[in-house]
């Protein structure tokens, strides 16, 4: 009787461990931020009342394709992930999930996401989602060990989500989704470079090259980060100028941008990991605050 109970407990623990491993494989937190961003674009594009059911289904479809892309990323980087503390405990480097299992999981998510977007979105939104997966998985990911140009390439799929959300409603490209793309595109440079600054030593072990200069953690690098952040400031007014949102959110975006810029100035002054860490957390706050402000200003 005890043996049966022990075996039952072992099976439960094994299933829980497998579930946890597959959950980690989805990069749930990162994937959720992508879905959130696309949802903001979707709501901004709605001219009347938001179709919440359709929005939820769109988000599930986009979430699934993003999971597929993240799994492909982990398959390609499984060897370099073993070299960094931050990623060594991922399911593939640890061998909890095999490459074959990861490929099958990625394919299932891709099929599910494609079918859902094909039914509950527009063709242009689906095409852009698949293009994003290809660029992120098969161009940006291998380029990370080749050249810092990877950040520029990766900024494209990284900036597509709000654009995809808009096009999922309208089915059309135009200035409005271009504005949403531009804001998120420029935001990514200080965001990723702050992360690269914090993790520079770890990245060097894995041969990953993301900082924009050969000087590494230097004033030269900090100056480039400041420049991109400064260029972000006027973009916060574009949704207002294009009639996508109100003036209040434009001022909120400007205020957030100024605070963001002050953090880059602090990085330039200190050239320290602590300053880069503050900038990194600041970047995590900037985008959702600004996007929520745009949406609330449009609704109210």
Q: What pLDDT digit, counting tens, does each position of 2-35 carry?
A: 554 555 555 555 777 888 999 999 999 999 999 9
Of residues 10 and 73, the one with the higher pLDDT is 73
pTM, full prediction? 0.92
Q: Are 188 and 243 in contact (CB under 8 A)?
A: no
Compute CA distances 233 → 131, 186, 187, 242, 253, whole Å: 28, 10, 10, 16, 8
Q: Are 200 and 192 in contact (CB under 8 A)?
A: no
Residues 247 and 239: their CA atoms lie apart, in Å, by: 9
pLDDT digit string, tens, across residues 135-154: 999 999 999 999 999 999 99
First to last CA, the chain: 64
What integer is the mean pLDDT of 81-109?
A: 94
Q: Are 155 and 200 in contact (CB under 8 A)?
A: no
What integer is the mean pLDDT of 108-112?
A: 98
CATH homologous superfamily of 11-173 equals UbiA prenyltransferase (1.10.357.140)
pLDDT digit string, tens, across residues 242-255: 999 999 999 999 99
DSSP conformation letters of 176-216: HHHHHHHHHHHHHHHHHHHHHHHTHHHHHHHT---SSSTT-
Going from N- to C-terminal start, the domains of the chain cover 11-173, 176-300
User: What pLDDT, on the 0 to 100 scale, is given for residue 5?
Assistant: 55
What integer is the mean pLDDT of 276-295?
A: 96
């Amino acid at each position: 009787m005890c043996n049966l109970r022990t075996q039952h407990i072992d099976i439960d623990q094994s299933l829980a461990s497998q579930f946890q491993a597959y959950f980690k494989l989805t990069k749930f937190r990162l994937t959720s931020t992508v879905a959130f961003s696309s949802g903001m674009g979707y709501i901004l594009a709605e001219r009347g009342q938001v179709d919440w059911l359709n929005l939820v289904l769109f988000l599930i479809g986009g979430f699934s394709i993003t999971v597929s892309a993240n799994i492909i990323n982990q398959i390609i980087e499984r060897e370099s992930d073993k070299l960094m503390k931050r990623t060594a405990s991922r399911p593939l480097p640890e061998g909890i999930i095999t490459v074959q299992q990861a490929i099958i999981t990625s394919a299932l998510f891709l099929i599910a996401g494609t079918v859902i977007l094909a039914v509950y979105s527009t063709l242009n939104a689906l095409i852009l989602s698949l293009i994003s997966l290809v660029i992120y998985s098969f161009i940006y990911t291998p380029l990370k060990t080749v050249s810092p140009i990877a950040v520029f390439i990766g900024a494209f799929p990284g900036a597509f989500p709000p654009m995809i959300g808009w096009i999922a409603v309208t089915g059309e490209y135009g200035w409005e989704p271009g504005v949403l793309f531009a804001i998120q595109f420029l935001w990514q440079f200080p965001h990723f470079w702050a992360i690269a600054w914090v993790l520079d030593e770890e990245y060097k072990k894995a041969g990953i090259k993301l900082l924009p200069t050969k000087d590494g953690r230097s004033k030269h690098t900090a100056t480039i980060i400041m420049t991109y952040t400064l260029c972000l400031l006027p973009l916060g007014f574009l949704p207002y100028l294009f009639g996508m949102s109100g003036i209040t959110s434009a001022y909120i975006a400007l205020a957030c941008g100024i605070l963001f810029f002050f953090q880059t100035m602090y990085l330039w002054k200190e050239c320290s990991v602590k300053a880069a860490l503050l900038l990194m957390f600041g970047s995590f706050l900037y985008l959702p605050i600004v996007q929520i402000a745009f949406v609330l200003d449009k609704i109210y």
